[in-house]
Structure 1
Amino acid sequence: MTKTRWTVEQIPDQEGRTFVVTGANSGLGFETARALAARGARVVLTARNAERGRAALAKIRVEYPNSDLELAPLDLADLDSVRAFAGELTGPVDVLVNNAGVMMPPRSLTKQGFESQFATNHLGHFALTGLLLERVRDRVVTVTSGLHKRGTIQFDDLTGERGYSPVDAYAQSKFANVLFALELDRRVRAAGLPLVSTYAHPGYSATNLQSSGPTGLLNLLMKPANLLVAQSAEQGALPQLYAATAPGVRGGDFFGPDGLGEMRGYPKLVQPVHSATDPETAARLWAVSEELTGVRYDLPVV
């Protein structure tokens, strides 16, 4: 990366390229879709809530009347929805942006019996990427969080039945995002594929995740933090936009804000917590994820 501050104005022309952005109805996903539309990309916006998805699409079209946008239903917490989306999507995909997520809700289980944060933030995107992999021509961008640094994978209690902390479960899911992005990079390299697996985090950005997920004291604490500390979602989307569009991005590259503590700022190369780079943990998570989702990748085991 250059030492200049990278902004959306530096996104190259994206005409003729197709992007799938999960969770594009609000927050980071919306700002990502909006910036890509401004550069001429065909953008498939996915949303769990159809009404909110239509509102997001309409908002972008008001700003960019000639934008090439599609809206598709996708609930990452439901593997049936993931399979339906992958089956109905037409044509090749240049870049898949695994952005959608939930943050620190009370413990709940999904339709398939998985803890909601692990299911939405990791398993759903693992399954989606595997189902679309043969059609992705350029990059897979996985969105994680700075909180991955306090994460571990509780292989003996992935549902949180023995003990559940909203923060720890969120950190686990974001830790899983990093393990997945790096293991995907290892496996596509071993297969000799030109696909780039990269990942990014937004720092502390004000989105609806802080208000729609946490309850009780967590919710009360996040309201003033959003006002006093957080940067805008538009600014927070820059690292994932850089990962998705900038020339020269390599497999395994990680982008986050350049400010103090990577909380806010402009995109730069950053480093994950060392434990998230462990190939053995990543391979174990991969095997578990294939078993839980039923989606198996045709890639060599490294």
Structure 2
Amino acid sequence: MRAASALVDTALDRSVVLGFTRLGLGVRSHLPGWPADPAPQALLGRHVAVTGASSGLGAATALGLARLGAQLHLVVRNPEKARPVVARIVTEVPTAVVEVHRCDVGDLDDVRRFAASFESPLDVLVHNAGVMPPSRTESQQGHELAMAVHVLGPVLMSELLRPRERVVLVTSGGMYAQRLRADDPEYLTGRYSPTTAYARSKRAQVELLSILDRRWEASVWATHPGWADTPGVADSLPGFRRLTRPLLRDAEGGADTTVWLSAVDPAPPGGSLWHDRRRRPPHFSPTTRSRPGDVARMWRWVCEQIGIEETSPDKGGAER
């Protein structure tokens, strides 16, 4: 039965449409071998931060973590937008402890300010904040915005906060269509496409996982949520949403694996991509595999932009 379940799971994954939609999660969650939910109160006493937690996947992730007893830190650009999220959490989980912190993840100076002001010992950090501007946009430091929000800001924040247990980067299945562009990380050549820029930055997240997992004391994973019906999708991909809305997952379904990885015990090995509680291959096609030296080149660029040492020592030996 387990072998047959694995075949069905893989077939769903490779089909994309079936695997990424609510159908994939619905079928997989009823297959033999579906990983068990984390234990009740699995995160009791742990401090967990979620970026981009004012709506969509971030809000659903925060609620899921609160149900498991986490002491939550919602990291958002606009604290006012986080108020309904906090209200929903404390209504459903009256014992929840929730703090809201202002930070623009794409602004490296703001990330440094936030990290310097953060006083709690952090156990788990979920990087969920995301952007897809319609035209090429630059951050406060002059970086292409998708790369700043999805790669530079998260790496710097994790480097400064050093979570003690886990780091989860919420990526996108769109990265399967792109290879790592270490030759043009700022998207300075060619005609700019918002979906391509988004996917390139998400590809960079996945390609750097093994380096980040070795560098930090925490286990590091990326999760892709599949296709979920969120405000971000509605704003950035309205045509896609119109065509696929009957099949889209809700935000809670999209956040399921992020919440699961944040709390499951024992934690699986880090440095890998996950979807629907299973480790997934980082490539569907050989054409997206990185060229020799490209991952090291991209890591060198990231280190230069955020001002950290390039070395990637074993866990426990990272520069603080």
Q: Which has the larger radius of gyration?
A: 2
Structure 1 match to 2:187: 160
State the alpha-carbon separation in 2 of the partners of residues 54 and 165 from structure 1: 33
Query: Residues of 2 paired with 1:161 and 1:284: CA distance?
Result: 17
Residue 185, structure 1, aligned to residue 203, structure 2: no
Gaps of 5+ in 1: 258-266
Alignment CA distance shift 1:252-1:279 (3 Å)? farther
Quote the Cα distance in structure 2 between the aligned partners of 1:254 and 1:12. 25
Partner of 1:198: 221
Distance in 2 (alpha carbons) for counterparts of 1:100 and 1:57: 17
Instruction: Show the counterpart of 1:115.
Output: 144
Q: C-alpha displacement at 1:289, in angstroms?
A: 0.6
Alpha-carbon spacing, 1:31–1:8, altered in 2? closer, same or farther (3 Å): farther
Aligned-partner Cα distance in 2 for 1:269–1:155: 25
Structure 1 residues 241-250 or 154-163, which shifts more? 154-163
Change beyond 3 A, Cα 1:6–1:234: farther
CA deviations on 1:182-239 (whole Å, 9 max, x unpaired) are: 2212334xxxx4x211221101111111123x3xxxx441231351221111001011
Residues 232-268 of structure 1 show CA distances to partners (whole Å, capped at 9, x for unaligned) of: 11001011112211113211232103xxxxxxxxx22
Residue identity (%): 35
Match of 2:256 in 1: 238
- Select between 103-112 and 40-49 the one with higher mean Cα deviation: 103-112
Residue 270 of structure 1 deviates from its aligned partner by: 1.4
Q: Does the residue aligned with 2:61 lie in a helix, a strand or coil? A: helix
One-letter code of the match for 1:211? A
Mapped to 2, the partners of 1:297 and 1:54 lie a distance apart of 39
* 1:26 corresponds to 2:36: no
AA at the equivalent of 1:177: Q
State the SS of the aligned residue for 1:40.
coil
Letter in 2 for 1:183: I
Letter in 1 for 2:146: Q
2:301 corresponds to 1:288? yes
- SS of residue matched to 2:275: strand
Measure, in 1, the Cα distance between the counterparts of 2:306 and 2:244. Answer: 35
Q: Tell me if structure 1 keeps the 8 A contact 2:38–2:264.
A: no
Question: Are 1:72 and 2:101 matched, yes or no?
Answer: yes
- For the residues of structure 2 that align with 1:85 and 1:298, how far apart are their CA atoms? 25
Give per-residue Cα distances to partners, 1:20-52, cap 9 Å, x unaligned: 111111111111111111121101011111210
Structure 1 residues 164-193: Cα deviation after superposition (integer angstroms, max 9, x where no partner): 1111111101001102222212334xxxx4
CA contact (8 A) 1:11 1:39 kept: yes
SS of equivalent residue, structure 2 residue 175:
helix
Using the alignment, how far apart are the partners of 1:61 and 1:279 within structure 2?
49
**CA offset at residue 6 of structure 1?**
4.9
Residue type of the partner of 1:142? Answer: L
Q: Mean Cα displacement is larger for which, 275-284 or 199-208?
A: 275-284
8 Å CA contact 1:25, 1:53 repeated in 2: yes
- Is contact 1:153–1:176 with CA below 8 Å preserved after alignment? yes
Amino acid at match of 1:180: L
Whether the aligned pair in 1 keeps the contact of 2:229 and 2:249 (CA below 8 Å) is yes
Which secondary structure state, in structure 1, belongs to the residue aligned with residue 123 of structure 2? strand
* 1:278 to 1:254, Cα distance in 2 relative to 1, 3 A: farther
1:286/1:33 Cα in 2 relative to 1: closer, same or farther (>3 Å)? same
How far apart in 2 are the matches of 1:9 and 1:301?
28
CA distance change for structure 1 residues 14 and 211 in 2, over 3 Å: closer, same or farther?
same
Report the secondary structure of 1:93's partner residue: coil
Q: Secondary structure at the match of 1:46?
A: strand
SS class of match (1:269) = strand
SS in structure 1 at match of 2:99: strand
Distance between the aligned counterparts of 1:42 and 1:278, measured in 2? Answer: 42
Q: What is the SS of the residue equivalent to 1:154?
A: coil
In structure 2, the residue corresponding to 1:124 is in which secondary structure? helix
C-alpha separation in 2, matches of 1:131 and 1:279: 30
Residues 122, 68 of structure 1: alpha-carbon distance in 2 compared, 3 angstrom cutoff: same
